[in-house]
Amino acid sequence: MKLIEYHVQNRIGFITLNRPEKRNALSYELVADLKEAFEQAENDKEVKVVVLKANGEAFCAGADLTYLQQLQKFSYEENLQDSNHLKELFLKIYTYPKVVIAQVQGHALAGGCGLATVCDFTYAVPEAKFGYTEVKIGFIPAIVTVFLLRKIGEAKSKELLLSGDLISAEHALQMGLIHKVITREKLEMEVNNLALKLAKENSGQSMKLTKQMIASVQSESIVDALNYAAEMNARARGTEDCKRGIAAFLNKEKLSW
């Protein structure tokens, strides 16, 4: 992974975008490295929570425009294959079996904003700008639209996607696009505290199943969704984590997961 840094500490897997000279723009290679890093963290038993962060001034400036220009020479089939490459990354993060926290230390634009959108938690500095600028260059925010509608609804999604305007971190917080705005000096500490809290206090199995439910029930009818929820409820009761958690609660023992 040439464009990604990866390390594990205190049961947290840190995946760091490392293309600062290009503002961590999403090239084919960077997307491939991200997919590989998330695969590695998923299979790493020492990792319970993942933090996605970046080196340099920007979190991610979106698609590499030089690369996009090259794609104009591609056939439809070649462009579809490339588009699926990014789709697979976003879907992997959205349905990831472990909690993913985005640590946004700079601007997150277009595909970079999409990258932050599909994470479970997004903490950002006040100076960070967010936005989907694709319509300003004759492109469309296609893949992220599917996830953004789920996250903030149609009206707010239209405001962002059709205007192409950049918004402040505070505005992004008000819209529900991100979860917390933190000063640059405290960003890393706050993200680490959240990751450590989740790793220590929560069952990894329970968080995995909860994420799976959130991703699944929204596309079902209310009857099918409730049937699925009842099945998940019953299945969760038989897990070792549930048995251990209930026993500890009844015995007034403090759990450390």
Here the CATH number for the domain that contains residue 43 is 3.90.226.10
- Which of the listed residues 164, 181, 199 is the one where a domain comes to its end? 199
Residue 257 lies in a domain: no
Q: Are residues 184 and 108 in the same domain?
A: yes
Indicate if 120 and 164 belong to the same structural domain.
Answer: yes
Report how far residue 31's alpha carbon sits from residue 84's, in angstroms, rounded to the nearest whole number.
Answer: 11
Cα–Cα distance for residue pair 144/115, rounded to 1 Å: 8
18 and 82 share one domain: yes
Q: From 199, 218, 241, give the residue that closes a domain.
A: 199
pLDDT band at 176 (very low <50, low <70, confident <90, very high): very high
Residue 157 lies in a domain: yes
Do 41 and 161 fall into the same domain? Answer: yes
Best CA proximity match to 5, nearest among 61, 62, 68, 56: 56
Same domain, residue pair 116 and 221: no
Q: Is 69 a member of any domain?
A: yes
Question: What residue has token string 């305007």?
Answer: 165
Res. 130 pLDDT band, cuts 50 70 90: very high
Please tell me which residue in 57, 127, 134, 154 is annotated as part of the active site: 134
Amino acid in position 119: C
Are 21 and 61 within one domain? Answer: yes
Predicted confidence band of residue 192 (pLDDT cuts 50, 70, 90): very high
Please name the helix (run of DSSP H) or strand (run of DSSP E) that holds residue 167, with its range, or none: strand 167-168
Which is it for strands 12-17 and 49-54: parallel, antiparallel or unpaired? Answer: parallel
- CA 153 to chain centroid, in Å, comes to 17
Q: Please name the helix (run of DSSP H) or strand (run of DSSP E) that holds residue 206, with its range, or none.
A: helix 204-217
Structural domain count, the chain: 2
Q: Rounded to an integer, what distance in angstroms lies between the CA atom of residue 237 and that of residue 196?
A: 25
- Look at residue 202 and tell me whether its pLDDT is greater than 90: yes
Q: Determine what percent of the chain is predicted with pLDDT higher than 70.
A: 100
Mean residue pLDDT of the chain comes to 93
* Higher local confidence (pLDDT), 81 or 250: 81
Domain, as residue range, for 239: 203-250
User: Are 169 and 246 members of one domain?
Assistant: no
Q: Are 56 and 23 in contact (CB under 8 A)?
A: yes
Do 134 and 11 belong together in one domain? yes
- The answer to the question of residue 255 being in a domain is no
Domain membership flag for residue 118 = yes
At 19, is the secondary structure helix, strand, or coil?
coil
Is residue 256 included in any domain, yes or no?
A: no
* Domain identity same for 124 and 234: no
Whether the pLDDT of residue 256 is over 80: the answer is: no
Co-location of 175 and 238 in the same domain: no
Residue 115, SS3 per DSSP = helix
Rg (CA), the chain: 19
150 and 219 assigned to the same domain:
no
Residue 77 corresponds to which amino acid? E
Catalytic residue flag (residue 134)? yes
Question: With the C-alpha atoms ordered 181, 183, 186, 189, is the resulting torsion angle positive or negative?
Answer: positive
In one letter, which amino acid is 36? E
